[in-house]
Amino acid sequence: MASHGIKDRVAIIGMGCTRFAEHWDKSLDDLLIHASDAAFTSAGVTKQDVDAYWFGTAQSAMSGIALARPLQLEGKPVTRVENYCATGSEALRQACYAVASGAYDSAMAIGAEKVKDSGMQGLNAFPVPNDGTSRTLTAAAMFSMVAPAYAQKYGVDRAHLKRVLARIASKNHANGAKNPLAQFRKEMSVDQLCAMPVVAGDLSVFDCAGVADGAAAAIVVRAEDAHRYTDRPLYIKALSLVAGNGSGLMDPSYDYTTFPEIVRCAEDAYAQAGITDPRHQLAMAEVHDCFTPTELVLMEDLGFCERGTAWSEIEAGSFDLDGDLPVNPDGGLKSFGHPTGASGLRMMYEAWLQLRGEAPPERRISTYGERDLALTHNLGGFPGEMVSFISILGTSLG
Amino acid sequence: MRGILSWGIHLPYRRLDRSTIAAIAGIGGGKGHRTVASFDEDATTMGVEAARRALAPVPDIALGSVWMSTVAAPYFDKTNATTVHAALRLAGEVAAYDTLGSVKSTLGALRAALSSDAPALVVASDLRGGLPGSGDEANGGDAAAALVIGSDSDGPVLAEFVGRGVATEEFLDRWRTPGDSRSKLWEERFGETRYAALAPIAWKAALAAADIEVAAIDHLVVAGTHDRANTSVARSLGVRADAIVDTMAATVGNTGAASPALLLSAALERSRPDQLIALVVLADGAEVLLFRTTSAIASFVPARSIATQIAGGGPIAYGKFLAWRGNLTVEPPRRPEPPRPSATAANRARDWKFGFVGSVDTDGEVHLPPSQLDAERRPMAAALGTIATYTIDKLSYSLNPPVVFAVVDFDGGGRLPIELTDVDAAEVEIGGRVEMTFRRLFTSDGVHNYFWKARPIRDTAHTAAVAAGNEES
């Protein structure tokens, strides 16, 4: 039993991404057509050239038909996948494995979510018939428990930590302000953010990801075929997934300052990619900043800094666009909102742009030209019970 | 010898200051406080709490039946007593019955329990109210009381049933048409006159049946919905003035169908061995039950005394009381309404959902909810816990926002993130101690979603410390 990974066996040859926004005038079909067309154009292929499709959507549609119908695909295998907030990433993972296996020469992973048709704020899960005993707490409230736990464990004053969390939001808003695809394009200062009224624990609405509609897509082929399509493919270095068993919710030793599923997932991903020093080997990371305390803890769980130091590293600007390791250079969930099925592929789209030098100069990562690996990360669920996905992507083989 | 083996009561945490009513309703109100069931309580959940306390001193009792009496039935057609039965984790061979609809229902349940051949649990629970500004609203109270009835072969009898007198008569004193939220009253004097005439008939019959003189009565309880008649009848029966048991009008209110059992419990709590207790119920006639305490009552300690519970209340604003009772329509949560719980899923998970039973794995770790992979079950309803961390959620769907939510570590193992109730957000603290309480989370499609919440443990010492601003660290 082992996790071998498929390092350097599959490459992304084209990507597309819609603007993330409250697309009152666009349906799920519109978003799918837009993202897939952009990916086809990017790769220089047609929908007939792509052998198989994996379609990630958490709850905007069911079955592969929901992609085959709007794209008018003819006799193609289309699979709908869902894995909480890792749904879009999961679509890519399946598409990559299908190509790596030799079953298909090419595949598309596409993720989309039409969130803003519900009439309600926030993300609202499908009600699965149940015994009525499960928690009805919002994700914001579940993640809000991280902040006081972290403050207590590492001796950080809670008011001080609130400014650290605002610093995370401020950084991501600053990055998003430069990005034409982002939902929110306004810079927010730490003082402005700290003045917002709280909605869950110490968190304000501005500590939470936005809510937007969006779609993103990638086309993958075997690595050895990649240069038939592009001079600058993005190679898959690692794909790792861990689904937690919920033990954190029941384990009295769990202290809400770490996400064990992420730690396991990172170990696996780094082993697959051969990374030993993520802080200095990675050129950038797109992480799942669903709430500001999440990004705080992720810096430690992903090995970007030592335990108990993320708060000071964040204050020092280590993860800024011009920092040591830029994190969420596109603006993150904070600026993009979180159309569940699309987010994972949106993160990869940023890696696609940045590593290949296509991000415009004003928002180019500080590490460009020096390092050539990017990490993308999703989590879905709550502290104590989550799925974690990590990909490592790179521009060169080996 | 047959009689009372144990009792337990539940007074909801919230107390409405009657003097706050008139400022908003324009009329009504009065002096003192009344108890108010929480937004997540109903007659069934309050009954469960009282029953748990009644069974705590007699954990090994082999009940034959459980009887639930209320005017505020959460369900018709479906038996409410089976929910109580499930929450108490009673065996399938224990019968469960409702006696519903009037104050007298409680006497019916008591009569059945006293005349049955196995131990019986009588649960009397009620929520009382009326239109804003009404006397019923101000003078009513919410409470539950439970009595374990049995014979000396079942355990020590604390108070032996020694006689009964009945005077039934049809007359219109108060009434409520099914579906109405309030009762209507005939001219008060009429009912008072009828009770004044009927009470002595039942009284004499009971004394004769028990072969007792009036002077021997040590504790007299008069229960019924007609407060004036209760007072005048109590004074007219010829007992010593100090034998009349306080009806708790100033602190609890008139608790309707719960009142016969609640006031009988109050009499039992103040009784010494070999004393006579008379319970007079004025409801569509008069009925008198006589009990004689035994030496066993001297060593009986109720699970949580009435005095403790009266002292342990917290305030509720009149506006919130109105909203909880459906008399003030407030903006609903802007979140999807929760779906109705699945009947089949609830049935499969009944040990967990109603009984709060977890499981233990081979490493000794407690699983909440239980895992199908574990062989050992672990009842957790009586476990106490400590708040490991908590949060306040202003976004989540709730009938009483904000949701106060805590990660609770239970003594003896087990952790559960769970909603807190009977709590003000500002008083929650890490390290705070909690106990489990059976509640109604929400109602969807008419289905009441019952499950457990945690609530702060409040004893008088703790309450006094809080009042003095000396919250223990």
Per-residue confidence at B333, pLDDT binned at 50, 70, 90?
Answer: confident
Give the number of beta-carbon pairs within 8 Å between A and B: 116
Quote the CA–CA distance of A113 and A88 in Å, as a whole number: 10
Marked catalytic residue, from A23, A173, A288, A338: A338
CB atoms within 10 A of CB A228: 10
- Where in B39-119 does DSSP place strands (E)? 65-70, 95-100
pLDDT at B468: 45
What single-letter amino acid sits at A301? D
Is the model's pTM score more than 0.80? Answer: yes
B345 and A CB contact within 8 Å: yes
Interface touch A140/B335, C-beta < 8 Å = no
Distance from CA of B466 to the nearest CA of A (A): 23
Tell me which chain B residues have a C-beta less than 8 angstroms from the C-beta of A145.
389-391, 407
Residue B472 binned pLDDT confidence (cut-offs 50, 70, 90): very low
Task: Tell me if residue A17 is catalytic.
Answer: no
**Taking CB atoms and an 8 Å limit, are A127 and B339 in contact across chains?**
yes
Nearest residue to B43 via CA among B156, B141, B127, B99: B127
Spatial CB neighbours of B144, under 8 Å, sequence gap ≥ 6: B9, B10, B43, B46, B47, B49, B50, B51, B123, B124, B125, B126, B258, B262
Nearest CA among A138, A197, A204 for reference residue A166? A204
- Comparing A45-49, B69-73, B336-340, B458-462, the range with the smallest average pLDDT is B458-462
pLDDT at position A363? 96
The answer to whether B133 touches B27, Cβ cutoff 8 Å, is yes
Give the whole-angstrom CA distance, residue B264 versus residue B106: 12
Instruction: Name which of A120, A131, A250 is nearest B349 (Cβ-Cβ).
Output: A131
- Break chain B down into helix, strand, coil percent, rounded to 5: 30, 30, 40
**Smallest Cα distance from A252 to chain B, Å:** 6
Nearest Cα of chain B lies from the Cα of A200 at a distance, in angstroms, of: 4
Interface of B with A in 385-444 (CB under 8 A): 388-397, 403, 405, 407, 409, 413-419, 430, 441
**Cβ atoms A35, A217 nearer than 8 A:** yes
Instruction: Identify the sign of the CA torsion B16, B22, B27, B29.
Output: positive
Contact B415 A254 (CB under 8 A): yes
Residue type, B440: R
Cα–Cα distances (Å) from A244 to A252, A381, A382, in that order, read 16, 9, 10
Place of tokens 């769980």: A301
CB contact under 8 A, A127 and B338: yes
Interface contact A132-B342, CB threshold 8 A: yes
**Residue of A17, A85, A96, A208 with catalytic role:** A85
Going from the C-alpha of B427 to that of each of A151, B30, B410, the distances in angstroms are: 20, 29, 20
In the predicted structure, residue B218 carries a pLDDT above the cut 80: yes
Taking a contact as any Cβ pair under 8 Å apart, which residues of chain B between 146 and 205 contact chain A? none
Chain B residues in contact with A152 (beta carbon < 8 A): 430
Give the angle subtended at the CA of B56 by the CAs of B118 and B385, to the nearest 5°.
Answer: 150
Residue of A115, A118, A131 to mutate, testing the B interface (most B Cβ within 10 Å of its Cβ): A131
- Nearest residue of A to residue B353 by CA position? A133
Residue the block writes with tokens 């501005």: A206
The residue type of A285 is A
Q: What is the pLDDT of residue B175?
A: 96
Residue of B nearest to A144 (CA): B391
Sort out which chain A residues have CB atoms less than 8 A from B389's CB and list them.
145, 148-149, 256
> Distances in Å between the alpha carbon of A362 and those of A99, A168, A174, A175, A374?
36, 20, 11, 10, 19
Chain B residues inside the 8 Å CB shell of A130: 341-342, 345
Instruction: Please give the helix or strand (H or E) that residue A398 lies within, else none.
Output: none
Neighbouring C-beta atoms of residue A322, cutoff 10 Å? 11
Which residues in chain A are contacts of B367 at CB distance < 8 A?
250
* pLDDT, tens digit (0-9, with 9 covering 90-100), for B69-105: 999 999 999 999 999 999 999 999 999 999 999 999 9
State yes or no: pLDDT of B461 exceeds 60. no
Q: Is A324 exposed, middle or buried (0-12, 13-18, 19+ CB in 10 A)?
A: middle
**Both tokens assigned to A39:** 């990916």
Which chain B residue's Cα is nearest to A382? B417
Nearest chain B Cα to A383, which residue?
B417
Q: Which residues contact A185 (CB under 8 A, 6 or more apart)?
A: A176, A177, A179, A335
Distance from CA of A59 to the nearest CA of B (A): 15
What the block records as the tokens of B103 is: 């104050």
Q: What is the pLDDT of residue B19?
A: 98
CA–CA gap between residue A293 and residue A280 (Å, rounded): 23
Q: Is A96 a catalytic residue?
A: no
DSSP letter (8 states) at residue A291:
B
Q: How far apart are CA B171 and CA B182, in angstroms?
A: 19
Q: Which of B403, B407, B408, B445 to mutate to test the interface with A (most CBs of A within 10 A)?
A: B407
Q: Do B415 and A149 touch (CB under 8 A)?
A: no
Closest A-chain CA to B417: A249
Nearest-by-Cβ selection for A131 from B346, B405, B419:
B346
DSSP character string of B415-465: EEEEEB-S--GGG--TT-EEEEEEEEEEEETTEEEEEEEEEE---HHHHHH
Dihedral pair phi/psi, residue A333, rounded to 5°: -60, -30
**Any A CB within 8 A of B446 CB:** no
Taking an 8 Å cut-off on Cβ atoms, the answer to whether B393 and A122 are in contact is: no
A interface mutation test: which of B366, B394, B404, B421 has the most A CBs within 10 A? B394
Give CA torsion, residues A127, A130, A132, A135, to 10 deg.
-60
Summarize the confidence of residues B172-180 as an average pLDDT: 93
Q: What is the pLDDT of residue B253?
A: 98
* Interface predicted TM-score (ipTM) of this complex, two decimals: 0.91
Residues B398, B401, B403: CA angle, nearest 5 degrees: 80
Torsions phi, psi of A211, nearest 5?
A: -125, 120
Q: What is the rounded CA–CA span in Å between residue B255 and residue B304?
A: 18
Grouped pLDDT means (10 residues each) for chain A, 398 residues:
92 98 97 98 98 97 98 98 97 98 98 92 80 88 95 96 98 98 97 96 95 97 98 98 94 95 98 98 98 98 98 98 98 97 98 98 96 98 96 97
Collect all residues from A whose CB is shorter than 8 A from any CB in B.
Answer: 118, 120-122, 124, 127, 129-133, 135-138, 140-142, 144-145, 148-149, 152, 198-201, 249-252, 254, 256, 384
- B348: which chain A residues are within 8 Å (Cβ-Cβ)? 131
State residue A1's pLDDT score. Answer: 59
| A354 half-sphere exposure, CB direction, 13 A CA radius | 36
pLDDT at B467: 42
Q: Please check whether residue A344 is in contact with residue A89, taking contact to mean a CB–CB distance below 8 angstroms.
A: yes
